[in-house]
Structure 1
């Protein structure tokens, strides 16, 4: 969900309750400035999402070499 900073100011308690269930992106002048997230979000799910973006056949040494080639 994305809301403006003004909307957040006007309805803070509403968005604090909603942040327990979903992430809320706060924008100002059309640009993201903050994000409300639940402290109880599933950390294992987040780690899985991060690691699933890395190819399974890539080892640590290859990743280092690839990173150095990008610099």
Structure 2
């Protein structure tokens, strides 16, 4: 579901309830700015995702934390 920021602000409770079951993308001035997603209560898909990242990562001696810091660093210091 895609909604604009004004609609989200006016009916935040409704969209938080809907976000328990489906993804909601919020737009501002026609551009996607945020996404609400259901919380994964089982936890395994995220673990499977991280395992897949580690398996395909070229440097096998790096920890998941180092990968995370490297990925975040790309956004904090884009140069």
Same fold? TM cut 0.5: yes
TM range (shorter): 0.5 to 0.7
The TM-score with structure 2 as length reference comes to 0.53
Inter-partner Cα distance in structure 2 for 1:15 and 1:26: 10
Alignment of 1:25-64 (within 5 A): 25-38=25-38, 40-41=39-40, 43-45=43-45
Return the structure number with greater relative CO, CA threshold 8 A, min gap 6: 1
* Alignment match, 2:8: 8
- Aligned in 2, Cα 1:47/1:27: closer, same or farther, shift over 3 Å? farther
* Corresponding residue of 2:18: 18
Once the two structures are superposed, what CA deviation does each residue of 1:2-53 show, in whole Å capped at 9, x if it has no partner? 1000000110000000000001000001100001112x3265446668x99x
User: Matched residues in 2 for 1:34 and 1:21: separation?
Assistant: 17
Unaligned runs of at least 5 residues, structure 2: 60-79
Answer with 1 or 2: which has the greater Rg.
Answer: 1
* Count of residues in Structure 1 that have an aligned counterpart in Structure 2: 57
Runs of 4+ in 1 over 3 A off after TM superposition: 42-49
